[in-house]
Amino acid sequence: MTTPDTLPDGRRLPAAAQRNAAPILHLLQGQNLHGPLLEIASGSGLHAAHFAAALPQVIWQPTDLAPQNLASITAWTQALPNVLPALALDACAPGWHRRFAPQNAVLLVNLLHLISAPAAEILLAEAAACLAPKGRCFFYGPFLCDGQTTSAGDADFDAALRAQDPAIGYKDLAWVTERLARAGLACQITPMPANNLMLIASHIQ
């Protein structure tokens, strides 16, 4: 079935992924990435296809929990030699790092604000445990800074998320970096377009 955001071959075209693909790729291209990379919550697979095509030295492992997303990921990436078959993963369940470690990189785009704090805490700890000794985690999305959103649009979006489910919503930057520190990771914070941030986390030396 073809819809305005789905191509005839089943590839989905979410607007947000189309908007942020270029700035995220630009950042990743400056990180000297190589070898295995685990993408958590790959969604449509648009990012996996776009990024893996531009980073042929990276072995990309896309994952998602939703069957319809896994199908879209396959449609997007099946012709790319450096993308592994998409795998089902509930990244908010404990213990999954043992299935995927060690990874040179872990990438997560626009998920932390869509899950609860307890689920996010599990995800962050598992992602940290998944890293190779010199590996890095990349967490992209909107965050609270000192408990506040950074724009009126973000305030509206955060309020809408919490109205839908009081357990979810934007996570405070200090809360996230503290959880990563507990897992042995230090964060570098890079501002991104549209009031988003990229958190680059690596093992504390």
Q: What is the pLDDT of residues 105-128, one digit of tens each?
A: 999 999 999 999 999 999 999 999
* Predicted confidence (pLDDT) per residue in 136-169, tens digit: 999 999 999 999 999 999 999 999 999 999 999 9
CATH number assigned to the domain comprising residue 194:
3.40.50.150
* Inside any domain, residue 25: no
Is 27 contained in some domain?
no
**Residues 131, 102 contacting (CB under 8 angstroms):** yes
Query: Domain containing 37: what range?
Result: 1-19+32-89
Alpha helices in the chain, H assignment, sequence order: 15-29, 46-54, 67-77, 97-100, 117-130, 152-164, 173-182
Span 6-12, mean pLDDT? 91
Of 62, 52, 138, 43, nearest to 100 by C-alpha is 62
Same domain, 74 and 105: no
Are 85 and 100 contained in the same domain? no
